Amino acid sequence: MRYTLVLTTLLSLCLPFTIAADPRYCQGKTTLASKDFTLKESADNAHLPVLAKYFKSKGKIASVTAVLESGNRALSKGSPSVGNGSPAEAWAWNSGDDNTKKWVPQGITSSADAFGKGTWNDHEAWIVSWYQKGESVRLSFVDRKTHKYRHVMLVYPTADDDFKPISIHAGGIMWYGNVLYVVDTKNGIRAFDLDNIWEVEIADGVGKTKDGKGYSADQYRYVLPQIRYYKWTPGDSSPFRFSWISLDRSDSPDTLMVGEFVRDGETFDDANKTPVPIRYVKYNLDATTRRLRTDDNGIATASWAYCVNIPNVQGAVSYDSKFYISRSTGRAPKEGDLFTWEQGKTATKHQGWFMAGNEDLSFNPVRKEYYTVTEYDGDRYILAYKV
């Protein structure tokens, strides 16, 4: 016992020095060395091709278009009376999705992210992520013309003949070609194959059915499988919170940006109460392969890393060097704030811009507008704002 106490004391004494010495932390800096922010690309999931072959043989591989055209729920036009931002459009979920406490909406992306032209096979669409704490993640594929939508479950292939649900927060998503990127808070970024949406049986359970003759996804008709992931390489000694994600097509090449949600005044559990850093990081994308650009060892190195001292941020987008930042402040009547910022300048705060519960952001350069979703049950919307 005495040895344990001594060791713990020594570790606690060393911790402040370790934090202070870490070049990835802000500590009064703004620009950080991009070389210090790396992700390791995994090999593609070996079980996915085998499962895909099975579903193809059964005629049960669906396209994004088919999912959009099979919408079995509908948004309704909303008019939230709170927030100073005056959204150009506000769409409410059906009553079941608006009021459920089981599922919480988090991330949003649109077909403008997918190819940069605004549409996917002539469909304008949104995709919204929802998490069920400790259980699973679903996506809402929303047709913007009809305002019908359908939920699709995210899954991870675990064997040549099985898959399981994915239990992450899914705080941000980004649609890039045939790949959907989803942040995994503690670990990095997961990538899902939109060319492999599988139609399953309408039954309870996730994965192989009890009789072994088919597959199900807790009463959902479709599942979207993970194909690969990008893991944060510095590890536990230098954590990064993958809280949100967005795409910037004004960069050359296109970039993926991730950032951290840190509460106001949050510090490390050390003797010096060192502030937890708040960082935004960009990685270059390959428009041909739809992957992050990596070296021969599969390492993606950041192209840009910056400290932005705005707490409670749920999402951000950048375009033409201007940033739009979404900060939440809690449930109504506490409205969320918008910040506009350019690197090297002081951010401008637009207090109470969003209704309460504002989350991830996504930018549409074709329509010149940006989107968010609100998370609190009984007051959930997809909101569109003109730039």
Per-residue pLDDT tens digits for 258-277: 999 999 999 988 888 889 99
Instruction: Give pLDDT tens digits for 61-109.
Output: 999 999 999 999 999 999 887 789 999 999 999 999 999 999 999 999 9
Inform me whether the pLDDT recorded for 223 exceeds 80.
yes
pLDDT in tens, 121-179: 999 999 999 999 999 999 999 999 999 999 999 999 999 999 999 999 999 999 999 99
Kindly state the percentage of the chain with pLDDT values over 70: 95
Q: Which residues pair with 267 in a beta bridge?
A: 275
Tell which CATH classification among 2.30.38, 2.60.40, 2.120.10, 3.40.50 matches the domain 27-386.
2.120.10
pLDDT at 9 over 60: no
56-71 confidence digits (pLDDT tens): 999 999 999 999 999 9
Q: What is the pLDDT of residue 8?
A: 33
> The pTM is what?
0.94
Q: What percent of the chain has pLDDT over 90?
A: 87
pLDDT computed for residue 80 by the predictor: 83
**CB of 385 closer than 8 Å to CB of 374:** no
Nearest to 169 by CA among 104, 224, 265: 104
Contact call for residues 253 and 285 (beta carbons, < 8 A) = yes
| Cα separation, 183 vs 174, whole angstroms | 9
The per-residue pLDDT for range 176-194, each reduced to its tens digit, is 999 999 999 999 999 999 9
In 3D space, the residue among 138, 245, 146, 256 whose CA is nearest the CA of residue 197 turns out to be 138
Burial class (CB in 10 A: 0-12, 13-18, 19+), 211: exposed
Helix (H) or strand (E) holding 112, with range, is helix 111-115
Domain ranges of the chain: 27-386
